Amino acid sequence: MPARYHLRFQLHPTPEAAQQATELAKFCGEAGVTEVVLLLGAEELYAGHPAGPAEDLLFETAATATTILREAGLDVSLNPWVTVGHADRGRADLLGFAPMVDPQGTAATAQASFACPRWRAWFVAQYARYATLDLRVLWLEDDFRYHNHAPLQWGGGFEPLMLDRFAAAAGEPVTRERLVAAITSPGEPHPWRALLQQVWRTAQLETAELVAKAVGECSGGRVRLGLMSSELGVHSVEGRDWPALFEALSIDGRVAHRPHFARYGDAPGRELSFSVWMLEAQRALRPAHATSEPEIENWPHTAWSKSDTQTWSELVAAGLAGSDAMFLNVHPMQSGRAQRFPRVADLLRRSRPALDWVAERQPRLPTTHGVGLPMPQHAAAHVRTRADGGLAGLAVDAGPTADHLLRYGVPVTAARAPVQALFGQAAWAFADFEVELMLAGGLLLDGVAAEVLTRRGFGRLLGITTCELVEREATGPAGPYALEHVRDQDVYLSVNGQPALARLALAPGAESWTTILTPGRQTWGPGRFVFRNELGGRVAVLAATAAQLLPYDDDGQRLLHTMVRFLEADRPALPLVSGGPHLIPHLSHTERGWQLAVANGSADPVRPRITLPGAPKAAAATLLAPLAPPTSARLDQHRRELILGQDLPHRGWLVVNWH
């Protein structure tokens, strides 16, 4: 089945809208676009929540454009610009909505509270009206959230109506100041944090259920709802229950998902690690019946914001994740005239051969493999905050862990796996029995997670007798930490930029692989060590507390690969990739066999080396070069390595298949 392009395009609500829609239909035919996602009254054309004549004009524009586009053979979806509102930017509410209020007490001027009944009625009526059109999906923009509502600090959720809901749940009146202090206080989380997340979650779910009911009734079940999402850590702060939210939005068992996964503008190729992980993590959160239609972001919406090469590489990443469609922002939002930008059509035409090749081979629900990165959706409820952390300090996810592994050529998965990695404060989010299950397999920890688990009484299973976190600015008898020395080798790595390190005292049987040194070469403490515990599991620990900030280099890669092999014990299975900087892998298994895709996140051409645990099987390789048709590639075999016999260009993908 060929790849599906969904083009997100804004029409101007003017008499020229019909002509604009006709030109857009012609453009789509030339560019191979299968669906248009109409955006109305957005960004530069947004004047606030519409009502009266302004609302009627937007609806009439959508109705006219939908008819023209459907007659041209295109599917049509609609993305009303706002739900609660995106950002004030000088706009004012004209409809009497209760405004969002942030933790500091600042009220928005054009963004509504989820607890506002007047806004809720308006919102449901808007979507019910649009559901009468011949649409495939009605999208909820990612503004359907509590965080990121400029100019509010962090976001909303502290308005009087929401505080009333919280007071009813808590059984006592509560001021905003007292509530904020409680949920962000250092130490063991105050019970009010989880309670506030429950209140927020309930208000959002109630709204989702109302809009789904209205859209289902007004469309006769023809139109489905779709949800755009943001980064997972901040959704965890909000207390989002992903399965419950998708269930609330489902109409006759159908719902769509538009996962955020691509950087908004030009970014180094190594940022593909973010894209690969975001697609994988969100795949694990949505139900199997939800379609995945990732959005390739582009902001500001001009061809100067993001290169075609980057857009192409992100499209391939979405295809490898088994996506149902590609959601593209490639036209200037304010233009209204698709055919003024023939370069966009050229981008889509040149991208199609590689995307069709991937779509024909990748199942909709691929089974991914790699180091498992467990991350419960409720992790933020368990985080221990710093005194100055605020709500932003509650956001934790596995993104930094994924970056550390993927950029070093280690595949990852959101599923449970024989080897797992647990970094940071996420270690608070698991019950004791879950921790023991992880410790009975292979488990990679950073210094923060090791300190948390030691504090929780798991030190003997980690090979640790004592563990404390030492801040960068702290001084001691030995002096500050600076270097990491690899045992029995003339190899040094830098820990100079770490915000803190774990000072570890190791139990008998723990094997130190590196030592932290001061600038004067005095021993500061163990840097990395491994341990076999009484459960039959294996543990590897890094003293680093922000592994993603360690300088990436060949020595760091060799240490990590060796640790992964140690953790696999006598069951080595994962292909590990080397041969150049930032070679980012994606490993999956289908009825066709194993597939390893490797992206070149470096600006230089490289020749990847794939190390397989056993004797390499007969493998076929395909090179996907940016904006070019797929070509067969040669793999040379050297012992247990498969080496690409030609250069892999910047942001190109090598796809290797074997049985």
We report the CATH number of the domain holding residue 454 as 3.40.50.880
Q: Could you tell me if 407 and 292 lie in one domain?
A: no
416 near 443, Cβ under 8 Å? no
Domain boundary among 534, 555, 572: 572
Q: Could you tell me if 305 and 440 lie in one domain?
A: no
pLDDT of residue 475: 67
Confidence class for position 614, pLDDT limits 50, 70, 90: confident
Q: For residue 342, is it within any domain?
A: yes
Q: For residue 142, is it within any domain?
A: no
Beta carbons within 8 Å of 267's beta carbon, 6+ residues apart: 310
Q: Could you tell me if 522 and 398 lie in one domain?
A: yes
255 near 249, Cβ under 8 Å? yes
Q: For residue 141, is it within any domain?
A: no
401 near 242, Cβ under 8 Å? no
Q: How far apart are CA 45 and CA 133, in angstroms?
A: 22
Confidence class for position 366, pLDDT limits 50, 70, 90: confident
Q: Could you tell me if 477 and 521 lie in one domain?
A: yes
Q: For residue 237, is it within any domain?
A: no
The string of pLDDT tens digits covering residues 470-513 is: 998 876 666 899 999 999 999 999 999 999 999 999 999 999 99
309 near 626, Cβ under 8 Å? yes
Q: How far apart are CA 624 and CA 617, in angstroms?
A: 22
311 near 299, Cβ under 8 Å? no
Mean pLDDT over residues 350-359, rounded? Answer: 97
Q: Could you tell me if 285 and 305 lie in one domain?
A: yes
pLDDT higher at 614 or 363: 363
- Other C-beta atoms lying within 10 Å of the C-beta of residue 10: 25
The string of pLDDT tens digits covering residues 155-200 is: 999 999 999 999 999 999 999 999 999 999 999 999 999 999 999 9
20 near 11, Cβ under 8 Å? yes
Q: Could you tell me if 546 and 443 lie in one domain?
A: yes
Cα distances (angstroms) measured from residue 564 to each of 280, 315, 412, 571: 20, 30, 12, 11
User: At residue 82, what is the residue type?
Assistant: V
Q: For residue 125, is it within any domain?
A: no
Q: How far is CA 21 from the centre of its chain?
A: 33
We report the CATH number of the domain holding residue 288 as 3.20.20
Q: Could you tell me if 459 and 489 lie in one domain?
A: yes
The string of pLDDT tens digits covering residues 44-53 is: 889 999 999 9
pLDDT of residue 387: 65
Mean pLDDT over residues 325-351, rounded? Answer: 91
Q: Could you tell me if 441 and 510 lie in one domain?
A: yes
Beta carbons within 8 Å of 587's beta carbon, 6+ residues apart: 368, 369, 370, 411, 413, 574, 575, 594, 595, 596, 597
Q: Could you tell me if 550 and 605 lie in one domain?
A: no
Q: For residue 194, is it within any domain?
A: no
Q: For residue 285, is it within any domain?
A: yes
Closest CA to 355 of 624, 594, 584, 591: 624
Confidence class for position 299, pLDDT limits 50, 70, 90: confident
The string of pLDDT tens digits covering residues 190-221 is: 999 999 999 999 999 999 999 999 999 999 99
We report the CATH number of the domain holding residue 604 as 2.60.40.1180
Q: How far apart are CA 529 and CA 504, in angstroms?
A: 10
Q: Helix, strand or coil for residue 452?
A: helix
Tokens at residue 632, please?
Answer: 């067969």
Beta bridge partners of 623: 631, 654
278 near 259, Cβ under 8 Å? yes
Closest CA to 446 of 373, 377, 370, 378: 373
Domain boundary among 314, 342, 362: 362
First-last CA distance in the chain: 23
512 near 530, Cβ under 8 Å? no
Mean pLDDT over residues 609-617, rounded? Answer: 84
High-pLDDT (> 90) share of the chain, %? 90
231 near 260, Cβ under 8 Å? yes
What residues make up the domain containing 339? 1-81+259-362
The string of pLDDT tens digits covering residues 406-435 is: 999 999 999 999 999 999 999 999 999 999
Q: For residue 250, is it within any domain?
A: no
Domain boundary among 572, 602, 628: 572
The string of pLDDT tens digits covering residues 433-477 is: 999 999 999 999 999 999 999 999 999 999 999 999 999 887 666
- The number of folded domains in the chain is 3
Closest CA to 493 of 549, 432, 431, 421: 549
- Other C-beta atoms lying within 10 Å of the C-beta of residue 254: 17
Lowest-confidence segment of 124-128, 253-257, 541-545, 613-617 by average pLDDT: 613-617
pLDDT of residue 301: 83
Mean pLDDT over residues 542-567, rounded? Answer: 97
Tokens at residue 512, please?
Answer: 């130190």
Q: Could you tell me if 440 and 564 lie in one domain?
A: yes
CA neighbours within 13 Å on the CB side: how many for 337? 5
Q: Is the pLDDT assigned to residue 640 strictly greater than 90?
A: no
Q: Could you tell me if 561 and 586 lie in one domain?
A: no
Q: Could you tell me if 481 and 527 lie in one domain?
A: yes
